[in-house]
Amino acid sequence: MGSAYIRPTNVVRGDETTAGRYAIARYGGPTTVLTTTRTLGTTVSHVLRNNPRRVAYRIFNRSANSVDLSFTSDVTSGTGIPLAASTGVAEADVEVEGELVIQEVHGIASAASSSVLVIEVIRV
C-alpha cells in the first residue's frame, strides 16, 4: 500500500509533471501563472494589458462594489461585462475565445478602492 506522504524524490517540475505535460500539449509549450491584484475606482483603469503570450485568464471581483469590464476604454458603470459584488468572475481561454484572450481588458467600479484578483496563464 502506498504512503500518503510526499517524499522529496516525488517532487517533480517542468515537463515531468502531469500539469506541465498537459500545458505543453494544450498550449504548445510550458506556461507560468501570474497572480496580481488591481484596485479599480470610478474612472476607467487597465485590468490587463495586451499580451500575445497569454493563453488564459480569470478575473475575480473581491470587493463589495460592482465592477464592469470591457475590451475598450470607453466602458462606464453598468455598460460593460458585469462582475457582481464579491462573487463576479470573468474568464477567457484561447481554446474558446481565440485571440480575444490576448487583448487589453479595462475596468471601472461603482465605488473607489474596489479590488479585483487577476490570474493569468502565460506561455513561456
For range 82-97, the mean pLDDT: 96
Which cell goes with 84? 457582481
At residue 21, does pLDDT exceed 70?
A: yes
Per the domain annotation, does 81 fall within a domain? yes
Our count of domains for the chain comes to 1
What is the pLDDT at residue 22?
87
Per the domain annotation, does 2 fall within a domain? no
**Cα-atom radius of gyration of the chain, to the nearest Å?**
18
At residue 110, does pLDDT exceed 70?
A: yes
Per the domain annotation, does 109 fall within a domain? yes
Question: d(Cα 29, Cα 21) in Å, to the nearest integer?
Answer: 9
Per the domain annotation, does 119 fall within a domain? yes
**What rounded mean pLDDT belongs to the chain?**
90
User: Position 99: which residue type?
Assistant: E
Question: d(Cα 72, Cα 44) in Å, to the nearest integer?
Answer: 10
What is the pLDDT at residue 5?
56
At residue 16, does pLDDT exceed 90?
A: no
CATH number for position 92: 2.60.120.770
Helix (H, G, I), strand (E, B) or coil at 101: helix
Find all residues with CB under 8 Å of 109, minimum gap 6, and list them.
40, 41, 42, 63, 65, 66, 67, 68, 77
Per the domain annotation, does 20 fall within a domain? no
Domain range for 44 = 30-123
- Strand order of the β-sheet with 31-40 is 31-40, 114-123, 54-61, 89-93
Per the domain annotation, does 65 fall within a domain? yes
Candidate from 3-12, 14-23, 51-60, 92-101 with smallest mean pLDDT: 3-12
Per the domain annotation, does 66 fall within a domain? yes
Candidate from 19-23, 37-41, 42-46, 64-68 with smallest mean pLDDT: 19-23
Contact present, 47 and 71 (Cβ < 8 Å): no
At residue 15, does pLDDT exceed 80?
A: no
Per the domain annotation, does 8 fall within a domain? no
At residue 81, does pLDDT exceed 70?
A: yes
What is the pLDDT at residue 90?
97
Please, which pLDDT band fits residue 99 given cuts at 50, 70 and 90? Answer: very high
